[in-house]
A = this chain, B = another copy of it.
């Protein structure tokens, strides 16, 4: 973790004009996020919004039967806690950390104050919410129509966009739980990808070797969400540099 800890690695925070950023900066707390850490549970009143920089968070729904499904992932392009400014306070979903890293959190009160003030923050948060809605739309359709292998490729690509090194620390078991499918299904699909030279893995570690292999196998859903997110949210300034910060 040699990454310089900087709120501006989050696309939303980085897009704020100086005065708004300064106003918030005093209240942003850097928080190390651990794998599996629970941010909120269904119906729980959130006390903070979380803006990931290097961490990856995930919004889940756990069914009565215990089966679960990730419905949206959140990386440095977004935040967790839309219900704070949407007015509902709570959600029937939960959020956990799926890749350890850093995030900044902002107290509920400060977020609301900034949201209610005319300025960039509100517009950014709403645009992000629309990107989130797009992701949910696409996940719903993808769950209905696409194969486990396609969904695995999509998940890998999304994760790759957030972890430029392509070195993931994750078990097949966990990926399966995120996608809401069987662990063996992931073993098989990942085996095919490995034999094709697209990825390589060993016990809890997965490396993407050939991104283009994923791109040729993935369903359209990846591109739709990515394009829409890029359309809605400003890019990180010098994003290639920040991607290299870690080297």
Instruction: Please determine whether B224 and A141 come into contact, CB atoms closer than 8 angstroms.
Output: no
Residues on the B chain within 8 Å of A127, using CB: 86-88
Interface string of A140-169 (1 = CB under 8 A from B): 110111000000000000000000000000
Decide yes or no whether A5 CB sits under 8 A from chain B.
no
Instruction: Please determine whether B145 and A224 come into contact, CB atoms closer than 8 angstroms.
Output: no
Nearest CB in chain B: distance from A134 CB, A: 6
Known: A134-B91, A134-B92, A228-B92. A65 touches B145 (CB 8 A): yes
Instruction: Please determine whether A69 and B140 come into contact, CB atoms closer than 8 angstroms.
Output: yes
In the complex, what distance in Å separates the CA atom of A97 from the CA atom of B68?
32
Decide yes or no whether A63 CB sits under 8 A from chain B.
yes
Instruction: Please determine whether A141 and B82 come into contact, CB atoms closer than 8 angstroms.
Output: no
In the complex formed, the residue of B with least CB distance to A127 is B87
Decide yes or no whether A180 CB sits under 8 A from chain B.
yes
Give the residue of B61, B123, B137, B144 whose beta carbon is less than 8 angstroms from that of A92. B137
Instruction: Please determine whether B69 and A141 come into contact, CB atoms closer than 8 angstroms.
Output: yes
Interface string of A113-153 (1 = CB under 8 A from B): 00000000001001101111110111111011100000000
Decide yes or no whether A83 CB sits under 8 A from chain B.
yes
Nearest CB in chain B: distance from A117 CB, A: 11
Q: Which residues of A contact B (CB under 8 A)?
A: 59, 61, 63-65, 67-69, 71, 82-83, 85-88, 91-93, 123, 126-127, 129-134, 136-141, 143-145, 180, 220, 224, 228, 231-232
Task: List 19 other contacts, CB 8 Å, given A86-B129, A129-B133.
Answer: A59-B137, A63-B141, A65-B145, A67-B144, A67-B145, A71-B136, A71-B140, A82-B133, A83-B130, A86-B127, A86-B133, A91-B130, A91-B134, A92-B137, A92-B228, A136-B136, A136-B140, A139-B140, A141-B143
In the complex, what distance in Å separates the CA atom of A64 from the CA atom of B137?
15
Nearest CB in chain B: distance from A228 CB, A: 6
Nearest CB in chain B: distance from A39 CB, A: 16
Known: A140-B139, A220-B63, A224-B92. A86 touches B145 (CB 8 A): no
Instruction: Please determine whether A71 and B143 come into contact, CB atoms closer than 8 angstroms.
Output: no
In the complex formed, the residue of B with least CB distance to A129 is B86
